[in-house]
């Protein structure tokens, strides 16, 4: 593990030469639901927020001195309290939290804030959306991430669980074969995947219409999945990422993880039936896992952001 998760501090080595390395702490998965009631037609924001602080926490680890430990309960209460004034976009909400913690406590040099946003839509009654009754939308989960490092702010937006399928216009041929290869070549197969994507904005991006950008990136990902014949999931993935970067100069990089959700043709001949590519077994495992980043030539890979955006260990 690198030491990018907190600013390096001078630590006193023990007699055995063991020192404190990178560290962070905070409150994970704070579920906050904000109902806006400024009219009879209510609005709902539903987030799952994680707050983790970076800074000078050496004494807590080495001496049991909690003088610099902003309690995780305090972080939770701050999230709830900030939602009282409205959440807005998850990215803007996380930026507000990052500014608060780094400006309120001198020893907090930065941190990481993440959110999942759960979408709701109005229940339709006689063709009209109800004022205060909602049903959860289920296509995907929106994600957001902010890394604060001193005065720097890095914003990553994304989605996960966007399940897509095309029933033709996909194939897989020309791959190397050895004694262990059993997969047969095909020029017509089902291509299905669960799209997980995260796109990093150029450094300093704050005053953007994050809702509009999110909606457009999702549109591009879906449209590009359909647009041309897929010679491999890798090809389709790159086309999807390329289209996002071409349309949005404010986005520096996009990273995607897409499992190949295999569909196998079922042999119906034992039952005296043919199967002209219509009945399939959908296998949930094992699966091919395709992952890649698409970026701009010569751009900074911003490894600090991506390393911190993953779990600590």
Q: Model-level pTM?
A: 0.90
Choose the catalytic residue: 6, 27, 34, 102: 27
Annotation marks residue 262 as catalytic: yes
| Alpha-carbon gap, residue 200 to 289, rounded angstroms | 22
Choose the catalytic residue: 42, 61, 68, 72: 72
pLDDT digits (tens, 9 = 90+) for 81-105: 999 999 999 999 999 999 999 999 9
| Alpha-carbon gap, residue 125 to 275, rounded angstroms | 42
Residues 183, 188, 191, CA angle at the centre, nearest 5°? 80
Distances (CA, A) of 17 to 6, 11, 13, 76: 21, 11, 5, 36
> Of 255, 251, 262, whose CA–CA distance to 293 is shortest?
255
Lateral strand order in the sheet of 25-36: 25-36, 43-55, 108-117, 141-149, 152-166, 191-201, 251-260, 288-295
Q: Say if residue 286 is preceded by a cis peptide, omega within 30 of 0.
A: yes
Annotation marks residue 27 as catalytic: yes
* pLDDT at 232 (0 to 100): 97
- 72 annotated to a ligand binding site: yes
- 234 annotated to a ligand binding site: yes
- 210 annotated to a ligand binding site: no
Q: Which residues of the chain have pLDDT under 70?
A: 1-15
- 172 annotated to a ligand binding site: yes
- What structural domains and CATH numbers belong to the chain? 1-150 (3.10.270.10), 159-313 (3.10.270.10)
């Amino acid at each position: 593990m690198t030491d990018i998760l907190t600013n390096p501090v001078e630590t006193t080595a023990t007699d055995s030469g063991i020192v404190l390395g990178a560290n962070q702490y905070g409150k994970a998965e704070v579920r906050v639901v904000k109902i806006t009631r400024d009219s009879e037609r209510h609005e709902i924001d539903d987030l799952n927020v994680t707050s983790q602080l970076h800074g000078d926490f050496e004494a807590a680890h080495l001496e049991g001195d909690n003088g610099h430990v902003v309690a995780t309960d305090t972080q939770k209460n701050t999230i709830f309290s900030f939602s009282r004034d409205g959440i807005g976009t998850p990215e803007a909400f996380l930026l507000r939290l990052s500014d608060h913690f780094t400006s309120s406590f001198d020893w907090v040099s930065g941190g990481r804030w993440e959110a999942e946003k759960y979408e709701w839509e109005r229940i339709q009654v006689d063709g009209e959306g109800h004022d205060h009754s909602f049903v959860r939308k289920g296509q995907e989960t929106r994600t957001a991430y902010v890394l604060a490092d001193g005065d720097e702010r890095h914003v990553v937006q994304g989605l996960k669980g966007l399940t897509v399928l095309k029933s033709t216009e996909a194939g897989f041929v020309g791959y190397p074969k050895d004694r262990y290869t059993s997969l047969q070549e095909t020029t017509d197969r089902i291509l299905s995947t669960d799209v997980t994507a995260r796109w990093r904005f150029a450094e300093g991006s704050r005053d953007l219409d994050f809702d509009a950008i999110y909606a457009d990136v999702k549109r591009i990902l879906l449209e590009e999945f359909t647009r041309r014949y897929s010679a491999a999931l890798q090809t389709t993935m790159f086309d999807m990422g390329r289209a996002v970067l071409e349309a949005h100069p404010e986005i520096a990089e996009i990273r995607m993880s897409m499992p190949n959700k295999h569909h196998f043709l079922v042999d119906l001949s034992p039952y005296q039936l043919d199967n002209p590519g219509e009945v399939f077994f959908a296998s949930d495992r094992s699966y091919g896992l395709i992952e890649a980043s698409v970026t701009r030539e010569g751009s900074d890979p911003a490894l600090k952001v991506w390393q911190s955006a993953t779990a600590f260990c």
